[in-house]
Amino acid sequence: IKAIAVMTSGGDSPGMNPAVRAITRSALNQGLRVFGINRGYSGLIIGDIFELKSTHVTNIIQRGGTILKSDRCPAFKDPVVRNQAAEILKKHEIDGLIVIGGDGSLTGAHYFTQETGIPVIGLPGTIDNDIYGTDDSIGFDTVLNTALDAIDRIRDTAVSHERIFLVEVMGRNSGHIASQVGIASGAEMIIVPEVDFKLETLCFSLASHRAQSKGGSGIIVVAEGPAPGLTYRLAKQLESHGEKPGVSILGYIQRGGRPTGHDRVLASCLGASAVTYLMAGFTDIMVGVINSQITTTPLQDIVEKKKPLNPDLVELAQLLHK
Ligand code: ATP
């Protein structure tokens, strides 16, 4: 391997920049040429590629987002387009690719290397932490802390006005963000797509919460779920049961911002390891972390397997309120 390329794809996440920095610097230190691909697969298929020098990654470790830009590229689901993309990499004499992104991006990476033979290593770069084969994804720790900061503030108002607040966090189909944010914020309840939920249970626990003289305030953390508008619908239902909940949708505020120290270290370690694995001849794997050890998982597993949510966390939030 003489030249590698790196891209960021799917939703941006804080820590992508430290990963790009680590990949660039470790590859350069080992005598490789490094190319940056702008806008993920969208840039790849039109050849939006430039050579990365050490100075390109100066002063980016603390910056949220991604200097390489990111995008969603439906066209990449077409094998013909993936083959054209391979030709573009060959034209630049690039013989290895590192893709930083979520499970969709890593699925595309798997098909790409299978069909074209170009070695590809994936890194888990998503705030959602829903990728099989890693305890932690780049950006997850930052989103937890950003959401917590917001919820701590909302709680001030909830307590002062003795109100219940529904706070919606990101995570699409998964409740990994909601469950951890819920525990760490001391939420009265956590609602996630993976665990069945009954409105009656929620109303009952709010009533018993009051009966125990804990005041009329509370925070319910809701995972956004696959269909938009869930939290507002929930608020309406609670209103019909006599509650007057406030609603706060944290939204995109969660995606940006300076990566935490944890995410910077994680991204740096995973980025450097990805280069090592690529140089050692590995392909079609994701480099992640399990039990604090750097591990590799076949990309095929990421395509086929869903990362389970620990349902104990959801229950724990309620237990800690009894
Ligand atoms: P996040 O979870 O943070 O949003 P993601 O990587 O899962 O990130 P997606 O929008 O699912 O985000 O995927 C990003 C891109 O990966 C898609 O726009 C597409 O280019 C590529 N991709 C996703 N699924 C496939 C697939 N089945 N085959 C080929 N490419 C895919």
Q: Tokens for 290, please give them.
A: 């399990």
Please give the distance, rounded to the nearest whole angstrom, from the Cα atom of residue 105 to the centre of ligand 1.
4
**pLDDT tens, residue by residue, 224-251:** 988 889 899 999 999 998 888 999 999 9
Q: To 5 degrees, how large is the angle CA 310–CA 313–CA 317?
A: 160
pLDDT value for 204: 76
pLDDT at 211 > cutoff 80: no
Q: E strand or H helix at 296, and its extent?
A: strand 293-298
Closest CA relative to residue 4, chosen from 26, 25, 43, 32: 32
Asked if this assembly's ipTM is beyond 0.95, the reply is yes
Ligand 1 centroid, distance to 149 Cα (angstroms): 29
Best mutation site among 107, 142, 302 for ligand 1, i.e. most ligand atoms within 8 A of its Cβ? 107
Which residue's CA is the closest to the ligand 1 atom numbered 18?
Answer: 72
pLDDT average, residue stretch 45-63: 98
DSSP codes, 18-87: HHHHHHHHHHHHTT-EEEEETTHHHHHHTT-EEE--GGGGTT-TT--S-TT-----GGGGSHHHHHHHHH
**Pocket lining: 104 vs ligand 1, CB cutoff 6 Å:** yes
Residue 316, pLDDT score: 84
Which residue(s) pair with 3 in the sheet?
Answer: 33
Best CA proximity match to 244, nearest among 135, 164, 137: 164
- The closest alpha carbon to 19, from 52, 66, 56, 51, belongs to 66
pTM of the predicted model as reported, rounded to 2 decimal places: 0.95
Q: pLDDT tens digits, residue range 102-151?
A: 999 999 999 999 999 999 999 999 999 999 999 999 999 999 999 999 99
Question: Residue 317 — very low, low, confident or very high, per pLDDT cuts 50/70/90?
Answer: confident
Catalytic residue among 71, 95, 128, 130: 128
Which residue's entry shows tokens 């590809």? 120
Give me the chain's average pLDDT, please.
94
Distances (CA, A) of 237 to 138, 199, 202, 246: 36, 8, 11, 13
Do residues 146 and 259 lie in contact, with contact meaning Cβ atoms separated by under 8 Å? Answer: no
Q: How confident is residue 32, by pLDDT bands cut at 50, 70 and 90?
A: very high
Instruction: Report in angstroms the alpha-carbon separations of 298 from 17, 110, 132, 163.
Output: 24, 9, 10, 48
Please give the single-letter amino acid code of residue 239: E
d(CA 286, CA 295): 8
Q: Nearest to residue 57, comparing CAs of 257, 264, 253?
A: 264
pLDDT tens digits along 158-172:
999 999 999 999 998
pLDDT at 228: 85
Burial class (CB in 10 A: 0-12, 13-18, 19+), 137: buried
186-210: average pLDDT:
83
Q: 41 CB less than 6 Å from ligand 1?
A: yes
Distant-in-sequence, close-in-space partners of 306: CB < 8 Å, separation ≥ 6: 130, 132
Ligand 1 within 6 A of 10 CB? Answer: yes
Residue 100 main-chain phi, psi, to 5 deg: -105, 115
Cβ burial of 233 (10 Å; 0-12, 13-18, 19+) is: exposed
pLDDT for residue 274 is more than 80: yes
Above 90 in pLDDT, residue 216?
no
312 is catalytic: no
- Could you tell me the pLDDT band of residue 322, with boundaries at 50, 70 and 90? low
Q: Which residue has the tokens 């995109």?
A: 252
Find out whether 258 is annotated in a ligand binding site.
no
Mean pLDDT calculated for residue range 50-61: 98
Structure confidence at residue 214 (pLDDT): 62
The answer to the question of whether 271 is labelled as a binding residue is no
The residue nearest atom 12 of ligand 1, judged by CA position, is 10
163 is in an annotated binding site: yes
DSSP category for residue 253: G
Ligand 1 pocket: which of 39, 105, 116 to mutate (most atoms within 8 A of CB): 105
Q: Strand pairing partners for 247?
A: 166
Q: Which residues contact 70 (CB under 8 A, 6 or more apart)?
A: 8, 9, 10, 11, 12, 16, 39, 40, 101
